[in-house]
Amino acid sequence: MSRTLIILKRELSAYFATPVAYVFIVIFLLLTGVFTFHIGELYERNQADLEPFFRFHPWLYMLLIPAISMRLWSEERKAGTLELLMTLPISLVEAVIGKFLAAWCFTAIALALTFPVWVTINYLGDPDNTVILAGYLGSLLLAGGCLAIGSFISALTKNQVIAFVISFVICFAFNLSGFPLVLDMFSSWAPQAIVDVISSFSFLTHFESILKGVVDIRDIIFFGSLIAFFLYANVLAIEAKKGS
């Protein structure tokens, strides 16, 4: 078994060793339910797709993912187990990836548990399941992006509450950066190139394009490089902060 996998296994079982996992999954399912059926009006729309279900994921993740990621490294630093981990024969990169993948697997499990929504829509109508699959893929990529941000932030502080709040704010900013309201704020003074860069960082734009069922390689590259960037920053943050 590779060391990354060993870390992944330990982390994942750590989620389920405490009530955190169950509380998270219940709240996630409840909120997706509320958003999909009440606010998204899945039934009332009379359309056989899961757009109302996926549409709210960026906003859900912005709130819930930091709750998963906040403990990833802050807790290790606070409890001193970081010292133990870093003196075992394992590289920091392996540890960072292993922990990130564990959190990602965990959100994948939570996401998979929304299958009744998919069953319902297939029972009620005749949806295009490839579009739905693309939706799940996009949702997973989005979760990965938020997790990588959250993991990096949790490496910067021993305080989980601070990690939560800052990750929330950053994910919020990534969500918002595609909104006309926000872009207008910049377009009044910044050159168009910068406005384009800001809007190209929007989670919403990339996520929504995947939701349409067209999985564009550029969207995958966007989330992939976002994850890689923040995990790299995560490694640097631990290197810099581990002694304190």
Partner 1 sequence: MDNLISVKGLHKHFGNLVAVDGIDLKVQKGEVLGFLGPNGAGKSTTMKMITGFLAPTAGSVAVCQHDVANDPIAAKTRIGYLPEGAPAYGEMTPTSFLDFVADIRGLVGRGKTDAIRKAVEKINLESVMHQPIETLSKGFKRRVGLAQAILHDPQVLILDEPTDGLDPNQKHEVRTLIKEMAPEKAIVISTHILEEVNAVCSRAVIISKGRLLFSGTPAEFAAHSRYHNAVTMSVASGIAASIEKTLAVLPDVSNVESTEIDAELTRVTAIPKDNKPIVENIQNCIQQHNWKVDELFVEPGRLDEVFRTMTMEAESIGEEART
Ligand X SMILES: Nc1ncnc2c1ncn2[C@@H]1O[C@H](COP(=O)(O)OP(=O)(O)OP(=O)(O)O)[C@@H](O)[C@H]1O
**Residues that bind ligand X in the complex, under the rule CB under 6 A:** 243-244
Binding footprint of partner 1 on the chain (CB under 8 A): 1, 3, 6-7, 9-10, 13-14, 17-18, 79-81, 83-84, 86-91, 242-244
Amino acid at 56: F
Q: Are 75 and 160 in contact (CB under 8 A)?
A: yes
Q: What is the dihedral of CA 7, 13, 18, 22, to 10 degrees?
A: 120
Tokens for 238? 């631990």
Residue 225, SS3 per DSSP: helix
Tokens for 84? 């133990």
Say which entry of ligand X, partner 1, none residue 91 contacts (CB below 5 to 8 A, set by partner kind).
partner 1
Cβ at position 53, least distance to partner 1 in Å:
33
Residue 17 or 185: which CB sits closer to partner 1?
17
Say which entry of partner 1, ligand X, none residue 90 contacts (CB below 5 to 8 A, set by partner kind).
partner 1
Residue 4 or 175: which CB sits closer to partner 1?
4
Main-chain dihedrals φ then ψ at residue 190, nearest 5 degrees: -90, 155
Alpha-carbon distance of 196 to 187, in angstroms, equals: 9
Say which entry of partner 1, ligand X, none residue 89 contacts (CB below 5 to 8 A, set by partner kind).
partner 1
Cβ at position 160, least distance to ligand X in Å:
20
Residue 13 or 122: which CB sits closer to partner 1?
13
Q: Are 66 and 171 in contact (CB under 8 A)?
A: yes
Alpha-carbon distance of 242 to 70, in angstroms, equals: 17
Residue 39 or 240: which CB sits closer to ligand X?
240
Residue 89 or 243: which CB sits closer to ligand X?
243
Say which entry of ligand X, partner 1, none residue 181 contacts (CB below 5 to 8 A, set by partner kind).
none
Closest CA to 114 of 56, 162, 170: 56
Cβ at position 89, least distance to ligand X in Å:
23
Cβ at position 191, least distance to ligand X in Å:
44
The count of C-alpha atoms lying within 13 angstroms of the C-alpha of 27, restricted to the half-sphere facing its C-beta, is 14
What letter does residue 61 receive in the DSSP assignment? H
What's the length of the chain?
A: 244
Cβ at position 34, least distance to partner 1 in Å:
31
Residue 14 or 235: which CB sits closer to partner 1?
14
Say which entry of ligand X, partner 1, none residue 242 contacts (CB below 5 to 8 A, set by partner kind).
partner 1
Cβ at position 243, least distance to ligand X in Å:
5
Tokens for 37? 């059926």
